[in-house]
Amino acid sequence: MKLVAGNSNRPLAEAIAAYLQTPLTRCNVRRFADMEIFVEILENVRGEDVFILQSTSFPTNDHLMELLILVDALRRASARRITAVLPYFGYARQDRKAGPRTPISAKLVANLITRAGTDRVLTLDLHAGQIQGFFDIPTDNLFSAPALVRDIQENIKAENIAVISPDVGGVVRARAVAKRLDASLAIVDKRRERPGESEVMNVIGDVRGRTCILVDDIVDSGGTLVNAADALIEQGATDVYAYITHGVLSGGAVARITASQLKELVVTDSIMPTEAVRVSRNIRTISIASLIGEAINRTSEEKSVSSLFD
């Protein structure tokens, strides 16, 4: 087994390598003066089972091109099998036609990754489960719920907990966490007036006197979380936490969350945290290196990955 890392999230790649006790394969991923990407694999990978560790996070297009060129370099170096490990799959929110004459970009990106020569994909908390079907190669979608639940149990000692879905589309994800915590479930009903903005309309469920935990897959601008926290406090919630898998946190999201009524936002390191995230008073990062590392190990040894979540 060989581990190859792009530039998107080097600390996570090194943590996964440490978990597997396998050093990262030496490679050179750099830019020419005109920002073209150049890749050179500096070790023999002929006949090897190779895993490329690369989140397609900001700058999304650069990191996606790095991934595609790494795949091509490994294919031409006669790697036996190439698995793209995508802790965060960019373009996942474009999983359907949102209106007339619009693309389904998630399918396009899946095609690019497949056509480049990838044999299988390993990813984490896809925005929509059906994206697995966009790939014409084996695709494993891991779930961060066990890691999130473990952190909740260790750090939130409240007895009266309610798990909250910040929108109707995330109910299945929130229900899975609520079941593991043996907690009640509530939903924030919102109406989005325009992209990047959300207006909370109603809270479905009883949250009065409860410690509320918002659960979702992606936090981007932070507007949904902030509005949801305000609505929950108005309905009598005592404290509001948020547990989100992918901390995109673009634009002024960190400042918005820091100034909000959220007691704490917890994100995984599927996306490398910025300096603003690291110094924020109410944003904390937890590692999913062991989860991804174990999934890589089981994939390499042809063992069950789904049993990780039984």
Query: pLDDT (tens digit, 9 = 90+) per residue, 48-73?
Result: 999 999 999 999 999 999 999 999 99
Pairing of strands 283-286, 264-268: parallel
111 lies in the same domain as 71: yes
Is 35 labelled as part of a ligand binding site? yes
pLDDT at 198 over 60: no
202 lies in the same domain as 281: yes
pTM: 0.93
Is 93 labelled as part of a ligand binding site? yes
301 lies in the same domain as 272: no
Task: Kindly state the DSSP code that residue 102 receives in the 8-state scheme.
Answer: -
Report the sign of the C-alpha dihedral through residues 247, 134, 109, 71, in that order: positive
What integer is the mean pLDDT of 92-103? 94
Question: CATH number of the domain that 10 lies in?
Answer: 3.40.50.2020
Q: What is the pLDDT of residue 257?
A: 96
CB environment 20-36: b (16+ within 10 A), e (fewer): bebebbebebeeeeeee
Q: Under DSSP, is residue 147 helix (H, G, I), strand (E, B) or coil?
A: helix
Domain range for 108: 2-143+290-309
The residues facing 194 across adjacent strands are: 197
Q: What is the pLDDT of residue 195?
A: 63
pLDDT tens readout for residues 206-246: 999 999 999 999 999 998 899 999 999 999 999 999 999 99
Indicate the burial class of 279 (C-beta count within 10 angstroms; 0-12, 13-18, 19 or more).
Answer: exposed
Q: What is the pLDDT of residue 158?
A: 87
In 84-126, which ranges are continuous DSSP H helix? 105-115
118 lies in the same domain as 199: no
- Name residue 116's amino acid: A
What tokens appear for 195 in the block?
């992209």
154 lies in the same domain as 128: no
Count up the domains in the chain and report the number: 2
7 lies in the same domain as 137: yes
Per-residue pLDDT band for 182 (boundaries 50, 70, 90) equals very high
Q: What is the pLDDT of residue 43?
A: 97
What tokens appear for 118 in the block?
């990838």
pLDDT at 174 over 60: yes
What integer is the mean pLDDT of 86-93? 96
Closest CA to 162 of 175, 172, 147: 175
Q: How far is it, in rounded angstroms, from Cα 19 to Cα 217?
A: 24
What integer is the mean pLDDT of 145-169? 92
Q: What is the pLDDT of residue 159?
A: 86
Is 211 labelled as part of a ligand binding site? no
Is 192 labelled as part of a ligand binding site? yes
**What rounded mean pLDDT belongs to the chain?**
94
pLDDT at 196 over 90: no
Is 127 labelled as part of a ligand binding site? yes
- 115 C-beta neighbours (distance < 10 Å), count: 11
137 lies in the same domain as 173: no
Q: What is the pLDDT of residue 293?
A: 98
204 lies in the same domain as 108: no
Annotated catalytic sites, by residue?
190
Kindly report the backbone phi and psi dihedral angles of residue 180, in degrees, each rounded to the nearest multiple of 5, phi listed first.
-65, -30
Is 206 labelled as part of a ligand binding site? no
295 lies in the same domain as 282: no
Q: What is the pLDDT of residue 5?
A: 97
Is 224 labelled as part of a ligand binding site? yes
Q: What is the pLDDT of residue 86?
A: 98
Is 94 labelled as part of a ligand binding site? yes
Q: What is the pLDDT of residue 200?
A: 59
What length does the chain have? Answer: 310
Q: What is the pLDDT of residue 116?
A: 97
Helix, strand, coil percent values for the chain (each to nearest 5): 35, 30, 35
Q: What is the pLDDT of residue 98?
A: 87
What integer is the mean pLDDT of 193-197? 62
pLDDT at 170 over 80: yes
SS (H, E, C) 14-39: HHHHHHHCCCECCEEEEECCCCCEEE
51 lies in the same domain as 14: yes
In the chain, which ranges are continuous DSSP H helix? 10-20, 60-76, 105-115, 145-155, 171-181, 223-234, 253-258, 275-279, 289-300
Per-residue pLDDT band for 189 (boundaries 50, 70, 90) equals confident
pLDDT at 197 over 70: no
159 lies in the same domain as 56: no
- The residue ranking higher by pLDDT, 148 or 199, is 148
244 lies in the same domain as 169: yes
Closest CA to 164 of 192, 222, 124, 205: 205
Is 119 labelled as part of a ligand binding site? no
